[in-house]
Amino acid sequence: MGFEPKKIKINGRLIPQLVQHLNINFKQAQKFVDRKRVYYRGEILSDKKAIINGEIEVIVFVARPSGNKPIFETKEFAVFDKPTHLAVHPKNLAPSVTLLDDVKFYLGANANLAHRIDKETSGLVLCGKTKQDEINLKKMFEDKQIQKYYIALIKGHLKDEVIINKPIITNKDMNIKVKVLIDNNGKQAITKITPLRIVGDNTLVLAQPLTGRQHQIRVHLHYIGHPIVGEPLYGVQEEIADKYLKGELSLDERMRYIGHHRLMLHAHKIEFTYKNIKYVLVSQKKIN
């Protein structure tokens, strides 16, 4: 599922033949070569000007849906309500089922994600139906024209609203590369946290990222001493976090060391205006 090999018999220049047989444009065909997804006689074919008379193997994306249909759509975009533990896109070329399978299956080959959320984060994901709509929506995210709101269950009691303004830098020196760090040399990151209600020893909060950094809400909440319930990376022993990332942490171990089967973070609401129409989209799921 996801990426699969496809054998094609071609006769002529590589790029035009890929365009013809895969029904793609020249730029997309060139990306197949750049991303090392074309093989000839068992070897990676990197020469875009190659003339081939024979059979090649191309690694293509084949949609294998998991049944997650869009909850809202227009002719330009659609919104999916992603469950926890489902990745939004394949990792490298490893076979897997991801949200992208559902996006391509239900919306067509040209549809694509306009942004990402973490595998364990549930909730709303916005997708463009065409390449141009994808580009437009991504630019809107970059320009902060799309507001996102998350629900999180955090450890401890938070009584007052807080705005966390701490720069974030990509982790390049430590063993766990996907983690980010709060560092004065990093990029500006601002998160608004509003407490909703106390839930036992925890607090349910509304989190609004005013910037769009990787793991922003997660690392900011950990920084103020209120990590998200079920957080498997921040505030966790490095060997446990490493084992989690490798997929080697059993459910029993996770419950013992982390305390919950998932990260209790949910993409609850998205607000934006697209082509002069205002949209307020709210998740149909509850965090649990």
Known catalytic residues are: 118
Q: Going by C-beta distance under 8 Å and a sequence separation of 6 or more, which residues neighbour residue 106?
A: 65, 69, 70, 78
Q: HSE on the CB side for 192, CA within 13 Å?
A: 7
d(CA 265, CA 191): 14
Residue 157: how many CB atoms within 10 A of its CB?
13
Q: Which of 224, 220, 199 is nearest to 211 (CA)?
A: 220
Residue 148 in contact with residue 208, Cβ under 8 Å? yes
d(CA 275, CA 150): 25
Q: Going by C-beta distance under 8 Å and a sequence separation of 6 or more, which residues neighbour residue 105?
A: 63, 64, 65
d(CA 60, CA 152): 37
Our CA angle for 88, 89, 91, nearest 5°, is: 125
Helices 14-22 + 26-34 axis angle, to 10: 110
101 membership: H or E segment, kind and range: helix 99-107
d(CA 24, CA 81): 29
3-state secondary structure of 62: strand
